[in-house]
Structure 1
Amino acid sequence: MRRSISLIVLAVLAGALSAFAQEAPAEVAPAEAALAAAEATQLHLNFAWTVLAAVLVFFMQAGFALLETGFTRSKNAVNIIMKNVMDVSAGAVVFFVLGFGLMFGTSLGGWIGTDGFFLAGLGGDPWTYAFFLFQAVFAATAATIVSGAVAERTKFTGYLLFSVVITGLIYPVFGSWAWGGLFNGGGWLEGLGFIDFAGSTVVHSVGGWAALAGALVVGPRVGKYDENGNPRHIPGHSLPLAALGVFILWFGWFGFNAGSTTEGSTDIALIAMNTFLAAGAGATAAMLVSWIRGGKPDAPMTLNGVLGGLVGITAGCANLTPGFALLTGAIAGVVVVYATLFLDRYVDDPVGAVAVHGVCGAWGTLAAGMFDSAGLFNPSVIGVQLVGIAAAFLWTFPVSYLLFTLIKKTIGLRVNGHLEHLGLDLHEHDNQAYPEFVPTDELTLAEV
């Protein structure tokens, strides 16, 4: 009897243990399923946000095209449209073939990527495609910056060759130093702790310093300087087009900065707000300075103040408080005015690209270190920022200057004065943006 009772008790205990053993997974499974679902949702959100941000940055090409077209004369509008179209079109191809691998391939000593060309070895992972798309439109932005500085006097073939090289080589090499670890490897600047979240230096200063080299090599437009070397103002043909371009750029910049998270997270709120505030502060400061200097609020300078503020906050948009974002943008607006006036004495830059992107990019990178919320005015952090700023110039400007010089001496870079007077649209493209409109030019054929 006792044995039977013992067997029954053991059977009951075994049944109870079995029941508990079966119930435990039933309690864990929903939690695991919920976690897996949350991770899948976050992954999909990361993809969706990164691709959407890339599309916003791509739309900035329209902004650059309208800004540059509006700030220059109507007889060159087709040429400018063609340059901007090809910056992103040919740029996408060469970045796929070469640039992405140099920038994000396995790093060789922190200096340059060594694989990933044609995305070889990276295919099959959908994230590669999203990340490539986002980075490709960044590369096109760096190339497009150059277009405005050499506008109205540069051969299309010479410009196109430079555009391909900056997208496939010049920009990716510096990018590998600062951002290589975003995907694979890691660059030497990145290892020092260089702060440039969305590219004040990596994209904008690189484009600005290349623009400076191009403007110097190609020379000024006919009639830009008088017999004493004083600059003349050559007005653009459509300020409304330029203003629309600036608003498009401002809109797209939310993708440029907030999209650099490459994930749908709460971080995008601060980044987007800082971007908005800095642009507003830049425009306001530029307007006030131009108003005080000239007695009237200057519209083109105010528009460039927006862009200066945007370029300035791009490096520190993720690590500055809103107050310091305002300060960074306001100082950038002042910098735009005085840098433009200074450079105009020596360099013919029809849209102010060097001041906006080169100089304000350097300022924004420095500000990201000076006003870092992790520690204000930290000398070691500021020192690293200065190293990055200097490295961008010392790499980009000499290489760009050499390349522009080689183009000048081989296939040619500059159209002659008579053709420049007639306009690049007819000579370079056999087309006109406004075929029923005959503009009145301030220059005459006798002056050419």
Structure 2
Amino acid sequence: MFQKKLNNVKSINKLFTSHRQVSILLGGIILLIWVEAALAQSSSFTRIDQVKQELQVGLDTFWVIFAGCLVFFMNAGFAMLESGFCRQKNVVNILAKNLIVFTLATIAFWSVGFGIMFGDGTPFLGLNGFFLSGIDNSPATGENYQGVFKALANVGIPLKAKFFFQLMFAGTAATIVSGAVAERIKFLGFFLFSLVLVGFCYPITGHWIWGGGWLQRLEFYDFAGSTVVHSVGGWAALVGAVILGPRIGKYEGGKSFALPGHNLTLSTLGCFILWLGWFGFNAGSTLKADAGVISHILLTTNMAAAVGGLAATITTWVYFGKPDLSVIINGILGGLVGITASCRFVSTGGAALVGLIAGVLIVFAVDLFDKLQIDDPAGAISVHLVGGIWGTLAVALLAVGPNSELYTIGPAQGLFLGGGLDGIKQLFIQLLGIASVSLFTVLISWGVWSLIEVTIGLRVPPEAELKGLDISEHGLQAYTGFMLKSDVSPMVAGIISKLNKKHKSM
């Protein structure tokens, strides 16, 4: 009996042991299934995050490339604007300069300019990344940074997309010069100056402001380039115009004689193209597809252009008695240049005020330079230099201030909006940036223009200028088969007659 009970107990123990093993096995299986499911879910979330990140980078890259293409199309706008403002005997020369300048900008900026502007280096210039060498890693700070373009490392798009967009800006700076020195400069002289400007002068000051340089560290703000692009181009143009001197017949006996452009239709078309391209110029500077910011910048850019054009129209109407189309065009462009620095930081009303003041300034700037006998056929100095200086100052006067609905990090609240001491400090920083960039650009430009003058010569001979640069420099005519009009200035006619008599007597 006892043995039978013992056997029963053993049987029960075996049963419990068997059940326990099965329970452990089932529990293990359940645990494995749960872990696998958890890992799968985690992997799924990770994959979703990766896809979202890839989509965002793709969208940002598409936007920047599209905006860059709009900026590239501005070259056509400059070509139309300048050729229309100049006489028909110089149209081929204007078009050739606007074409060649972008080819030169591409080579100069790729080889040295981009590295100087955005490469890691000193507070004064970059020393890495020439010929677009090196990698561009994110984030911009930390011990794991391995790239050579630290100033651009917080931008998620590929390095080549960043270069493409910045190249468009570099080309614009050189194109600005073309209009101010038109109708009397040697093609080779402009060719050489453009290489130096894009390869060295523009990138150095650009490094100060956008490349992590000393002005950026002081919190100087220029969102899309009123100083970086337009003032630099404007100063280089001013120095070139002064050294070249005015066109023959422009100023005689203390008087200014009009040398009207041959086709204001082309100039108006150029204005519309530039207006369109400016949407990419300013809004593309976000370097990311941020819908709210882009929309705001598009609106402020357009508002400044519209008010600038209207202000110039009314001002020239009152001041000169007629609404001059060329001044209206430059008023619109002046508004666009003016808003370029602050388009991210001002309200729509602030943008209207920027355009209003820019439009008025352009009218009086054109008149002032004419009285100083600084000959600028396209009004480029007034638009880009004067408009650029005003636009940079406007940041300190009209910015809405950080921690607002527009931006959280940026310039202090403007003085016109009650910025107080912070606004005064911002104004001094903006003034310091303007002064330092101006001084550097003037010195470098003067040196380069002068060096070209004493080596190969800067200006074409008087006979070539009177004949027209199309024939003398290129051996072509823009309007073959059409009768060429003579210069309308009686002084020019007299000079031509004297030159002809001189040649006959020789």
Could you state the TM-score of these two structures normalised by the residue count of structure 1?
0.95
Instruction: Please name the residue that 1:364 is paired with.
Output: 391
Shift of 1:176: 0.7
Aligned partners of 2:101 and 2:194 also within 8 Å: yes
1:115 aligns with 2:128: yes
Identity percentage of aligned residues: 46
What is the alpha-carbon distance in structure 1 between the residues aligned to residue 251 and residue 487 of structure 2? 16
Instruction: Please name the residue that 1:232 is paired with.
Output: 257
Aligned partners of 2:81 and 2:268 also within 8 Å: yes
What is the alpha-carbon distance in structure 2 between the residues aligned to residue 114 and residue 406 of structure 1? 26
What is the alpha-carbon distance in structure 2 between the residues aligned to residue 188 and residue 173 of structure 1? 11
Of 419, 424, 439, which aligns to 1:394? Answer: 439
What is the alpha-carbon distance in structure 2 between the residues aligned to residue 190 and residue 351 of structure 1? 32
Instruction: Please name the residue that 2:428 is paired with.
Output: 383
Deviations 1:137-158 (A, max 9, x none): 1111000101110100111111
Instruction: Please name the residue that 1:14 is paired with.
Output: 28
* Range moving further from structure 2, 373-382 or 200-209: 373-382
Superposed, which structure 2 residues align to 1:11-410 within 5 Å? Answer: 11-108=25-122, 110-122=123-135, 127-180=158-211, 186-227=212-253, 229-266=254-291, 267-346=293-372, 347-374=374-401, 375-377=413-415, 378-410=423-455
What is the alpha-carbon distance in structure 2 between the residues aligned to residue 19 and residue 92 of structure 1? 59
* Range moving further from structure 2, 95-104 or 24-33: 24-33
What is the alpha-carbon distance in structure 2 between the residues aligned to residue 25 and residue 280 of structure 1? 58
> What is the DSSP-based 3-state SS (H/G/I as helix, E as strand, rest coil) of the residue aligned with 2:158?
helix
Shift of 1:272: 1.2
What is the alpha-carbon distance in structure 1 between the residues aligned to residue 61 and residue 457 of structure 2? 44
Shift of 1:221: 0.5
Q: Which amino acid aligns with 2:379?
A: G
What is the alpha-carbon distance in structure 2 between the residues aligned to residue 122 and residue 220 of structure 1? 48
Shift of 1:422: 0.7
Shift of 1:130: 1.1
What is the alpha-carbon distance in structure 1 between the residues aligned to residue 239 and residue 24 of structure 2? 89
What count of residue pairs does the alignment treat as equivalent?
Answer: 441
What is the alpha-carbon distance in structure 2 between the residues aligned to residue 428 and residue 299 of structure 1? 30
Deviations 1:16-48 (A, max 9, x none): 322321221233333222221111011111111
Shift of 1:447: 5.9
Deviations 1:87-118 (A, max 9, x none): 1011111111111111111122x101112111
Shift of 1:244: 0.4
What is the alpha-carbon distance in structure 1 between the residues aligned to residue 252 and residue 456 of structure 2? 29
Instruction: Please name the residue that 1:183 is paired with.
Output: none
Q: Which amino acid aligns with 1:112?
A: L
What is the alpha-carbon distance in structure 2 between the residues aligned to residue 189 and residue 414 of structure 1? 36
What is the alpha-carbon distance in structure 1 between the residues aligned to residue 389 and residue 414 of structure 2? 18
Aligned partners of 2:82 and 2:179 also within 8 Å: yes
Deviations 1:381-414 (A, max 9, x none): 1111111111111011121112111111110011
* Range moving further from structure 2, 3-12 or 230-239: 3-12
What is the alpha-carbon distance in structure 1 between the residues aligned to residue 31 and residue 105 of structure 2? 66
What is the alpha-carbon distance in structure 1 between the residues aligned to residue 23 and residue 80 of structure 2? 86
Aligned partners of 2:259 and 2:487 also within 8 Å: no
Tell me which structure has the larger Cα radius of gyration.
Answer: 2
Of 421, 442, 463, which aligns to 1:418? Answer: 463
* Range moving further from structure 2, 52-61 or 12-21: 12-21
Shift of 1:300: 0.7
Q: Which has the higher contact order (CA 8 A, sep 6+)?
A: 1
What is the alpha-carbon distance in structure 2 between the residues aligned to residue 361 and residue 282 of structure 1? 14
* Range moving further from structure 2, 48-57 or 240-249: 48-57
Shift of 1:333: 0.6
Q: Which amino acid aligns with 2:278?
A: W
Instruction: Please name the residue that 1:446 is paired with.
Output: 497
Aligned partners of 2:343 and 2:351 also within 8 Å: yes
Deviations 1:225-265 (A, max 9, x none): 120x2322211000000000010001111111111111111
Shift of 1:5: 4.1
* Range moving further from structure 2, 256-265 or 70-79: 256-265
> What is the DSSP-based 3-state SS (H/G/I as helix, E as strand, rest coil) of the residue aligned with 2:362?
helix
> What is the DSSP-based 3-state SS (H/G/I as helix, E as strand, rest coil) of the residue aligned with 2:63?
helix
> What is the DSSP-based 3-state SS (H/G/I as helix, E as strand, rest coil) of the residue aligned with 1:344?
helix
What is the alpha-carbon distance in structure 1 between the residues aligned to residue 90 and residue 367 of structure 2? 24
> What is the DSSP-based 3-state SS (H/G/I as helix, E as strand, rest coil) of the residue aligned with 2:459?
coil
What is the alpha-carbon distance in structure 1 between the residues aligned to residue 360 and residue 206 of structure 2? 28
| Residue 122 to residue 231, structure 1, CA distance change in 2 (3 Å) | farther
* Range moving further from structure 2, 236-245 or 53-62: 53-62
Shift of 1:198: 0.6
Aligned partners of 2:173 and 2:233 also within 8 Å: yes
Deviations 1:114-140 (A, max 9, x none): 121111224999822111111111111
- Give the unaligned 5+ runs of structure 2: 1-12, 138-146, 148-156, 402-412, 416-422, 500-506
Instruction: Please name the residue that 2:6 is paired with.
Output: none
Q: Which amino acid aligns with 2:463?
A: H
